[in-house]
Chains A and B, each alone.
Chain A
Amino acid sequence: MDYILEGLSAALRLLFNLNPEIREIALLSIMVSTSSTLIASLLGIPLGFVVAHYDFQGKGIIITILNTLLSLPTVVVGLLVFSFISNQGPLGNLELLYTPLGIIMGQTILALPIVVTLSLNVIKESEDKIIDTALSLGASKKQAMILLFKEVRFGILGAVITAYGRVIGEVGLSMMVGGNIRRVTRTLTTAIAMETSKGEFGFGLALGIILMTIALAINLVLHYFQEVRT
């Protein structure tokens, strides 16, 4: 018990003193995860809409693949990205391995199926009814689509936030592709894993508190948009 309390006290000291290394690690994590979630959202939301809205051959297979990708282990994505961006890989000349850009690339692959699948489900669930009702109220097709997006916006925001939660908390991919290099690619999760194994429990705990605070903030934002704004 003393061990935990001492760790906690060390963690709080580090946080209150705004330890520069902790700040740097937290900012890098936020930057990397925000970038990957943004890219995944820019690609994933339109893709989710296309799959939900249009009927085409192979749609069922695409949905099954997307659902399978939801539970993709982070180390498998790490392995995949590593094979592409390592020196011998097809994208080796871009020198992305052990860089924040490499992590962003991997996290985008991780976040994309989440954004696509959850957006797709939100749109598919309510599309027919919202569009039919809008058309029956005299909407043009364009007005009906605008209304659809207004109605599903909080559901889609939920998809984006879920994806953010997944990437900011992943460790396997960042470790493999980023290499946990101090001041370059060390993120909250890779640092927690390393510091704890080094016996720096207080340092790890301080980073854990930041990670938990980010998770809490994300969920509060989601709750605000889903509950308070309705």
Chain B
Amino acid sequence: MEKQIILTVQNIVKYYDNQKVLNAIDLEVRAGTVLALMGPNGSGKTTLIKILSSLEEADKGEVYYQGELINKENSLNFRRQIGFIWQKTLLYNASVYNNVALGLQFRNYSEDKIKDKVDSTLDRLGIVDLKERNAKSLSGGQQQKVSIARTLVTDPQIIFIDEPNTSLDLESIELVEKIIKEESQAGVPIVLITHNFYQAKNLGDEIIFMKEGEKVTHETPAEFFEQREELLRYV
């Protein structure tokens, strides 16, 4: 049975300073699927996921979430359905608890509900003991865990991950991979930007390879790694 389409993107075009950085991108993101975005630096991957997640507007084209066109009126509601794990973690100058609670506060959850959800998420990531620490005083690996907790606490319906391996230790990379597996098995679609083709092969259900703002291929890892070896030299 074919998995349900969660996100549809049609003919996305984006310019920065009159230069086209994305050209006619079409794609679909399905429930429980890990879509790996690969391609050289400057190929438009980060811009694409910023448009997919409504953090940036496209100059042309449409994004549909569960069949509904995302526009200015409903983009806030849409952003409250997604989670984003950034390449470089930015934690706010506050305790771990307050950092993780932030997304729930934005959604106007009650204090009791926030406490329950934050506690259970910190527990899931094994960082309950860091709860009262200032997030900025933590090590890189601990900060990444807090950042993941902050994303998961809102129960996102889609998760975008931008190059999780950059400047991370092995334990944190394994944690990110574990979360990707757990969440996708739970039916959450994941859009993952990665330069690591082992990660794309092992975690990805589909791979999109981008170059100069265009989608070069969109296929399964098996097809991709059999037929497209010449593309890997760009990564």
**Hey, which bits of chain A sit against chain B, CB under 8 A?**
129-130, 132-140, 143, 147, 150-151, 154, 230
Contact = CB atoms under 8 A, between A and B. Distances in A.
Given A136-B83, A136-B160, A150-B92, 16 more contacts: A129-B90, A132-B55, A132-B86, A133-B84, A133-B86, A134-B102, A135-B55, A135-B79, A136-B53, A136-B82, A137-B154, A138-B79, A147-B102, A154-B93, A230-B136, A230-B137
Interface residues of B, number: 26
A136 to B, nearest CB: 4
Interface of B: 50, 53-55, 76, 79-80, 82-84, 86, 88, 90, 92-93, 102-103, 106-107, 134, 136-137, 150-151, 154, 160
A151 B93 contact: yes
Most buried by B among A132, A133, A140, A143: A133
Given A130-B90, A151-B93, A230-B93, A138 B134 contact: no
Contacts of B136: 230
Given A132-B55, A230-B134, A138 B93 contact: no
19 contacts: A129-B90, A130-B90, A130-B92, A134-B106, A135-B55, A136-B53, A137-B102, A137-B103, A137-B150, A137-B154, A138-B79, A138-B80, A138-B107, A147-B92, A147-B102, A150-B92, A151-B92, A151-B93, A230-B93
Nearest to B102: A137
B90 A143 contact: no
A140 B76 contact: yes
A154 B93 CA distance: 11
A137 B102 CA distance: 8
B35 to A, nearest CB: 18
- Please list the 3 inter-chain residue pairs (A to B) with the smallest Cβ-Cβ separation, ordered nearest first: A136-B84, A137-B103, A138-B80
Nearest to B82: A136
A51 B26 CA distance: 37
A217 to B, nearest CB: 24
Contacts of A136: 53, 55, 79, 82-84, 86, 160
Contacts of B92: 130, 147, 150-151
Contacts of B93: 151, 154, 230
A151 B135 CA distance: 13
A150 B76 CA distance: 21
Contacts of A135: 54-55, 79
